[in-house]
Amino acid sequence: MSMKHNASEPALHINEINVKDKYKFLKKIGQGSYGEVWLVLPNNSSSIKSQTKQHVLKRLDLRPSSNNPTQNDIESAEREAKLLSTLKHPNIVAYIESFRSSDGFLNIVMAYCEGGDLYTKLKEKKSKKESLTENQIIEWFIQICMAIQVNHSFCSF
């Protein structure tokens, strides 16, 4: 897959942005080997409505002193952000923005899904020892297939 940078894409190499100037961190909702996922609110928003709209901020640690990310790791993370910015579909979480911050992180901001994700829904059903209905399985299967179709239309292998 070849994704060339053009002038209309966000410049991810600018490190002058302080992430805390852009977002208020509410709580950590996930963590992995390369970073963290936070529930955030945008700061300095022009409208009251968007100030109450929560987002998810995925922070990938690209500092040389941390997990020793290779140039390939960094390029892969930036490709992920660029690919997410192109995907627009009701069954794919909405991309808001991405930027490299002054603390050495790549930040990817996405819409917050208040209802949770499929994994959470399945865990809830399992903990309650409830079965999924055939209609629910078919509905989710169709939504997953539609999202995969959109992904494949953007990727040529």
Do 123 and 62 fall within a single domain?
A: no
Question: Is the pLDDT reported for residue 146 higher than 50?
Answer: yes
Do 10 and 64 fall within a single domain?
A: yes
Separation of alpha carbons 36 and 29, rounded Å: 8
Task: Please tell me the least confidently modeled range out of 72-76, 108-112, 133-137.
Answer: 72-76
pTM: 0.74
Q: Are strands 55-61 and 95-100 parallel, antiparallel or unpaired?
A: unpaired
Reference 98, options 82, 87, 76; nearest CA is: 82
Q: Per-residue confidence at 9, pLDDT binned at 50, 70, 90?
A: very low
Q: Quote the number of domains for the chain.
A: 2
Do 19 and 86 fall within a single domain?
A: yes
Do 20 and 95 fall within a single domain?
A: yes
Going by C-beta distance under 8 Å and a sequence separation of 6 or more, which residues neighbour residue 62? 69, 73, 74, 77, 100, 104, 105, 106
The secondary structure of 2-46 as a DSSP string is -----TTS--TT---B-HHHHEEEEEEEEE-SSEEEEEEEESS-S
Give residue 29's pLDDT.
92
Do 77 and 148 fall within a single domain?
A: no
- Asked if residues 87 and 95 have their Cβ atoms less than 8 Å apart, the reply is yes
Tell me which of 39 and 73 has the higher pLDDT: 39
The pLDDT tens digits for 52-107 are: 789 999 999 888 776 677 788 788 888 888 888 988 888 888 999 999 999 889 99
Tell me which of 48 and 40 has the higher pLDDT: 40
Give the range of the structural domain holding residue 82, as residue numbers without chain letter: 1-114
CATH code at position 101: 3.30.200.20
Separation of alpha carbons 46 and 23, rounded Å: 14
Do 44 and 66 fall within a single domain?
A: yes
Question: Is the pLDDT reported for residue 12 higher than 70?
Answer: no
Do 137 and 99 fall within a single domain?
A: no
